[in-house]
Amino acid sequence: MVSSCRQPIRVFIANGQEIVRAGVRTFLHGEEDLIVVGEGDHVDGVLSGSWQTKPDVIVLESGLSGGSDPGIYKRLFNLLPSVRIISWLRDDNAEAFRSAVEGGAQGYVQEKSCCMELVRAIRAVGKGGGYLAPEAAEKTLCLLRQSQDLVCFRWGLSMISPQERRILALMAEGNTNKEIAVKLLLSDKTIKNYISNMFAKLEIKRRTQAVALYLKGLKQHTPMGKGTSASCSVDDD
| Tens-place pLDDT, residues 142-170 | 655 555 455 455 555 667 788 888 898 88
pLDDT at position 160 is 79
Do the domain assignments include residue 69?
yes
DSSP state of 218: I
Classify residue 69 as exposed, middle or buried by CB count within 10 Å of its CB (0-12, 13-18, 19+): buried
Same domain, residue pair 185 and 117: no
Q: Assess whether 210 and 133 both reside in one domain.
A: no
Question: Shortest CA distance to 108 belongs to which of 75, 85, 129?
Answer: 85
**pTM of the shown model:** 0.61
Q: How confident is the model at residue 77 (pLDDT cuts 50, 70, 90)?
A: very high
Average pLDDT over residues 126-146: 72
Most confident of 78-87, 94-103, 155-164: 78-87
Q: How far apart are CA 125 and CA 108, in angstroms?
A: 10
Judge whether residue 118 has pLDDT over 80: yes
More confident call, 137 vs 15: 15
Output the pLDDT for position 230.
43
- Which stretch of 92-101, 106-115, 143-152 has the lowest confidence by average pLDDT? 143-152
Per-residue pLDDT at 188: 92
- Does 134 share its domain with 160? no
- The better pLDDT of the pair 135, 92 is held by 135
Question: Lowest-confidence range among 82-86, 140-144, 228-232?
Answer: 228-232
Both 49 and 62 in a single domain? yes
Would the pLDDT of 5 be above 50? yes
Number of domains in the chain: 2
Per-residue pLDDT at 208: 82
> How crowded is residue 228: how many other Cβ atoms within 10 Å of its Cβ?
12
Last residue of a domain, one of 144, 171, 190: 144
Any idea what DSSP says for residue 114?
-
127: containing domain:
9-144
Mean pLDDT on 42-66: 90
Tell which wins on pLDDT, 99 or 237. 99
Residue 156 lies in a domain: yes
Cβ atoms of 60 and 96 closer than 8 Å: no
Check pLDDT > 50 for residue 213. yes
For the ranges 3-7, 8-12, 220-224, 233-237, the one whose mean pLDDT is highest: 8-12
State yes or no: pLDDT of 102 exceeds 80: no
Closest by CA position to 105, among listed 126, 128, 130: 130
Range 173-183 average pLDDT: 89
Do the strands 131-132 and 107-110 form a parallel or antiparallel pair, or are they unpaired?
A: parallel
pLDDT band at 227; cut points 50, 70, 90: very low
**Is the residue at 50 inside a domain?**
yes
Within a domain: 223: no
* Same domain as 194, residue 126: no
